[in-house]
Amino acid sequence: MGILLLALAVGLSAAACGRSQPPKLAPAADTLRQLPAGPVIGAHDLYGSYGWYGIPYAAPPVGDLRWRAPRPAAGWSTVRQSTKRGAPCMQFPSPFGGVPGKRGRPTGSEDCLVLDIWTPPLSTNELEQGTRLPVMVWIHGGGNTIGSTQLYNGGHLATAHRLVVIAVQYRLGPFGWFRHPALRSTAAEELDASGNYGLLDLIAALQWVQRNIAAFGGDPGNVTIFGESAGGTNVFALLLSPLAHGLFHRAIVQSGGLRFSSPERGEDPTEPHSSARVIADWLGRAATSGQLESVERAHEDLPNLAARLRQIPASELLSLYEPQDSGMIRMPLLFRDGVVLPREEAIVLLEQGRYHQVPVILGTNRDEMKLFFSQVPDLVRWRLWLFPRIRDVRLYELFSEYASKMWKATGADEPAERMRLVQGPSVFVYRFDWDELPRRFGVDLGMLLGAAHGFEIPFVFGHFDLGRASGLLFTRENEPGRIALSQAMMSYWAEFAWHGNPARGRERQLPLWLAWDEAEPDSAKFIIFDTQDGGGIRMASDVVRRLELLDRVEQDPRFQSQSERCSLYWLLTEFGRGLSVEEYRRRGCSEPLERVRR
């Protein structure tokens, strides 16, 4: 990863949510709250908010509780000081996840099922009178293998629009998604056998909200779940999970998707990174080193194998996987197990109305894939790990355009079309276009990154203080438009949380955000978020669909050869963006990514 992008990643993460190492907070007497599990005390935080950190919502999933559905957390009798962030869940260090450490060396803890809460400064009198504010529950991204609540600070959103904002941690990687016959052989209930432990954690957190949030002035009858990237995909999963019924009342998907795995793929020994493959490799190593007498006997004695697997040190278990430069790992996730998630494909369930039909916002960023393509050596060359040079601007822009539109098609437009036909005019869609980035080290960041993946997060949270990294993205020149756009987006998100319709924002003064309209092909479909210099906030109608995009690639004269088209198809396949390996081959492509150096 180039040093410039590394700094941008660290900075963007901090911007999204507050500094990764906030100043030490002192307990504040007026934040004392009585919960069923025991009393908690928080602190005065940024933007005049009250904050509580590291509150457990489930028992630590360690020892025999590894790879089981979350169990209730133990209570406490003395006042619990909730002024310090909880440990991140087990993962590889990554600037994108905001968890420091030596590259490739596992970090974090299995004891990580905690949440953080921010509220406006509510008085005891307000609480006693039954103040009930909308609740927004944030689910962080990171490919479901990295990430932490330590990055996020919901104080500005909470105080600006009188909301209760919560950020939740959940099990990641093989701790959160893992299926194997050995685990099913010792499952106490069908949830323990599902493999969807990370998703079950999120459901447990929402159940905790229902039981506890009134003590913080929140309304358990008005809960909005929102998340970005993998967090957005998890929001989709909660919309589809029958176990989440009644736990939330609105949903926001920021750059999410509908890519779930079959249980069979999760256990297929020929599938790279499946549990069967990983366990087989581990058993092979144990046999070679003399720690295991027979691999065959280990596979036959499933209860004993399950016990052995639960005894593997967490860092050793994670080390069975190879991290990418981003710290993320590849593995099957979000299993359509028939219990936590239905067996059918997600898009079919949306068409049939077999999901929680609550008001929804779906959206993507115009240049989603530039964040990832800027790290593809065939597209961008990094000199001295600092100075990126786009090898072929035409291809870089062309590939980014189609891949980002594919994200819009599969993560926003196509789901919106299905949901709108089922639930009526309560589906809202956006595209984030802000790209007023400066030049740094002779690099035009507007071209290299543009409105890239994750760049909307600081606008939603209203926090741009990156410390020393601030100037990398956010300058005095782009400040007026940036702040105005952020205030608008915060207002829309808050109004949606209050009433299920973003409309004209909380102050009723913004451009009207219309619901997705099915009446006419050219009618308003989604809102564009940009500054006045970029065209302003406005409705648009150019819908994109997966198959139509693929057909457009075949007809687009900007491609100069079939090998260039195959290069794009390979990128779509490699990054899981709307093209399967089978489709790649059916389009006449058989070789891996073509070299596009110029």
Q: Amino acid identity of 586?
A: R
* Structural element, H or E, at residue 226: strand 218-228
Please state the φ and ψ torsions of residue 266, each to the nearest 5 degrees: -65, -20
Residue in this structure with the two tokens 């549990």, named with its chain if needed: 275
Rounded CA separation 387/440 (Å):
9
Distance of CA 470 to the CA centre of its chain: 23
- Which two structure tokens, joined as six digits, stand for 251? 């949903």
Distance of CA 295 to the CA centre of its chain: 38
Q: Are the CB atoms for 352 and 343 separated by under 8 Å? A: no
Catalytic site residue 453? yes
**Alpha helices by DSSP H, 152-196:** 155-161, 173-176, 181-185
**Alpha helices by DSSP H, 180-301:** 181-185, 197-212, 230-240, 263-267, 275-288, 295-300
Choose, from 20, 49, 229, 486, the residue flagged as catalytic: 229
Q: What angle do CA 475, 477, 482 make, to 5 degrees?
A: 75
- Which two structure tokens, joined as six digits, stand for 362? 């779906």
Is residue 201 classed as helix, strand or coil in its secondary structure?
helix
Beta strand 114-119 with 133-139 is unpaired
Choose, from 156, 161, 180, 453, the residue flagged as catalytic: 453
Rounded CA separation 143/391 (Å):
28
Label each residue of 27-76 as H, E or C: ECHHHCEEECCEEEECEECHHHCEEEEEEECCCCCCHHHCCCCCCCCCCC
- Which two structure tokens, joined as six digits, stand for 165? 């904002």
DSSP assignment letter at 113: -
* Cα within 13 Å of Cα(546), Cβ side: 18
Catalytic site residue 463? no
Rounded CA separation 587/426 (Å):
38
Rounded CA separation 261/274 (Å):
11
Choose, from 110, 368, 417, 495, the residue flagged as catalytic: 368
Residues identified as active-site: 229, 368, 453
